[in-house]
């Protein structure tokens, strides 16, 4: 196996970057990106190197500074994207291609980050215990009719903080705090585990509905053990009062150091293309962000919905305030 400049740099040996390569720090497992990388390299001849950085990505980029071998960062959740931007380790990307392919609500107004796929924060509902039309809005989840019927992961999880920030954006602090208190009062158990654990709890009869991300349904259906859990629930797309369904993204940003800037831009633009968006849709059970690209058959089977028009940059600005409210009500206590 050829030892690239990227691999050497990760070991502490600084060498000039090789021509026609792109180096990525990714929060996403490399296996999820491999179909995209293979297609891009086959089409362009550009080699793509991925380092999976589960924790401390921002701190690592800050410590490396101008010596960083990374050209791009790829991550999930608007909070993580804005974290790297706020740390001053990214640069704006002026691209007519990205602007044309990615709707404004899924990219940074300052062109620092760009959404690549979308996922909805939805409700998983027990097929045998929740009637059609019973789940309506996010606001309704605080209604006492759901007392003892809701499961969710930690309130401080990035996905739930983003949802709370969206509630805050649609309403105000007093309403959002009351909503959190109502939602907490309706929990069947203390928040625990991940989104798939909530679906398992529904299957086991511990609760009737759970908050989760859409793509986990695809992952569960592909797992022999978890398929039974998935088949016990329906996906329901709540909306905000006067709005649509809450969305989050996976996205990309170019680092300030970017030793392979030209090749990195080619990859960013390709990731927003019809081909790449289709691969994303089929492989990761996510929604393409580029208008006109069809969802996979499985994702289409979950039904149609109206995404919330609230810009994710506006949601990100309220994340700290949302987290403060979550902690004030001791949501996980």
Query: Domain ranges in the chain?
Result: 5-118+247-300, 119-246+306-328
Q: Find all residues with CB under 8 Å of 85, minimum gap 6, and list them.
A: 108, 112, 113, 253
| Superfamily covering domain 119-246+306-328 | Periplasmic binding protein-like II (3.40.190.10)
> Residue 302's pLDDT is what?
95
- Give the pLDDT band (50/70/90) at residue 29: confident
> Residue 281's pLDDT is what?
87
How large is the average pLDDT for residues 200-207?
98
One fold for 5-118+247-300 and 119-246+306-328: yes
How large is the average pLDDT for residues 50-58?
91
Answer yes or no: is pLDDT of 14 > 60: no
CB 137 within 8 A of CB 170: no
Tokens of 177: 């705090």
Q: How many of the other CB atoms lie within 10 Å of CB of 208?
A: 23
> Residue 5's pLDDT is what?
45
> Residue 55's pLDDT is what?
87
From the list 112, 6, 4, 2, the residue with the least C-alpha distance to 67 is 6
Lowest pLDDT segment from 8-12, 132-136, 181-185, 308-312: 8-12
Answer yes or no: is pLDDT of 64 > 70: yes
> Residue 6's pLDDT is what?
53
Answer yes or no: is pLDDT of 10 > 80: no
From the list 311, 281, 309, the residue with the least C-alpha distance to 293 is 281
In percent, the amount of the chain with pLDDT more than 70 equals 94
- Give the pLDDT band (50/70/90) at residue 3: very low
How large is the average pLDDT for residues 146-152?
98
Answer yes or no: is pLDDT of 50 > 50: yes
Answer yes or no: is pLDDT of 17 > 50: no
In percent, the amount of the chain with pLDDT more than 90 equals 87
- Give the pLDDT band (50/70/90) at residue 28: confident
From the list 314, 282, 279, the residue with the least C-alpha distance to 298 is 282
Answer yes or no: is pLDDT of 8 > 70: no
In three-state form (DSSP H/G/I as H, E/B as E, the rest C), the secondary structure along the chain is: CCCCHHHHHHCCCCCCCCCCEEEEEECCCHHHHHHHHHHHHHHHCCEEEEEECCCCHHHHHHHHHHHCCCCEEEEECHHHHHHHHHCCCEECCCCHHHHHHCCHHHECCCCCCEEEEEEEEEEEEECCCCCCCCCCECHHHHCHHHCCCEECCCCCCHHHHHHHHHHHHHCCHHHHHHHHHHHHHCECCCCCCCHHHHHHHHHCCCCCEEEEECHHHHHHHCCCCCHHHHCCEEEECCECCCCCECEEEEEEEEECCCCCHHHHHHHHHHHCCHHHHHHHHHHHCCEECCCCCCCCHHHHCCCCCCECCCCHHHHHHCHHHHHHHHHHCCCCC
Answer yes or no: is pLDDT of 285 > 50: yes
Answer yes or no: is pLDDT of 15 > 80: no
Domain spanning 5-118+247-300, CATH architecture = 3-Layer(aba) Sandwich (3.40)
Q: What's the whole-number average pLDDT of the chain?
A: 93
From the list 293, 267, 289, the residue with the least C-alpha distance to 278 is 293
How large is the average pLDDT for residues 273-299?
93
Which has more pLDDT, 18 or 38? 38
CB 127 within 8 A of CB 217: no
- Give the pLDDT band (50/70/90) at residue 113: very high
How large is the average pLDDT for residues 184-200?
97
Answer yes or no: is pLDDT of 11 > 70: no
CB 296 within 8 A of CB 283: no
Answer yes or no: is pLDDT of 19 > 70: no
How large is the average pLDDT for residues 181-202?
98
Q: Find all residues with CB under 8 Å of 22, minimum gap 6, and list them.
A: 46, 47, 48, 49, 71, 72, 260, 263, 264, 266, 267
């Amino acid at each position: 196996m050829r030892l690239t400049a990227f691999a050497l740099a990760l070991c502490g040996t600084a060498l000039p970057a090789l021509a026609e390569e792109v180096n990525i720090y990714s929060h996403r497992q490399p296996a999820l990106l491999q179909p995209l990388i293979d297609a891009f390299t086959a089409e362009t001849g550009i080699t793509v190197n991925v380092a999976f950085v589960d924790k401390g990505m921002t701190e690592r980029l800050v410590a490396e500074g101008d010596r960083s071998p990374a050209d791009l960062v790829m991550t999930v959740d608007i909070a993580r994207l804005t974290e790297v931007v706020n740390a001053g380790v990214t640069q704006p990307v002026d691209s007519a291609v990205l602007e044309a392919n990615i709707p404004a609500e899924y990219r940074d107004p300052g062109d620092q980050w760009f959404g690549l796929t979308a996922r909805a924060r939805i409700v998983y509902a027990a097929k045998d215990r929740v009637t059609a039309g019973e789940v309506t809005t996010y606001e309704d989840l605080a209604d006492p009719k759901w007392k003892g019927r809701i499961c969710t992961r930690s309130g401080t999880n990035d996905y739930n903080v983003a949802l709370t920030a969206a509630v805050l954006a649609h309403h105000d602090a007093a309403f959002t705090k009351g909503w959190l208190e109502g939602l907490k009062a309706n929990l069947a158990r203390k928040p625990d585990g991940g989104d798939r654990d909530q679906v398992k709890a529904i299957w086991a009869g511990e609760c009737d509905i759970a908050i989760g991300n859409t793509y986990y349904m695809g992952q569960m259906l592909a797992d022999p053990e978890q398929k039974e859990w998935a088949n016990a629930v329906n996906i329901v797309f709540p909306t905000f009062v006067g709005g649509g369904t809450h969305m989050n993204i996976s996205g990309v940003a170019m680092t300030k150091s970017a030793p392979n800037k030209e090749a990195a831009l080619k990859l960013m633009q390709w990731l927003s293309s019809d081909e790449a968006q289709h691969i994303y849709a089929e492989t990761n059970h996510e929604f393409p962000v580029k208008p006109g690209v069809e969802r996979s058959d499985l994702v289409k089977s979950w039904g149609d919905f109206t995404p919330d028009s609230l810009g994710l940059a506006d949601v990100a600005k309220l994340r700290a305030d949302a987290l403060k409210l979550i902690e004030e009500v001791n949501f996980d206590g």
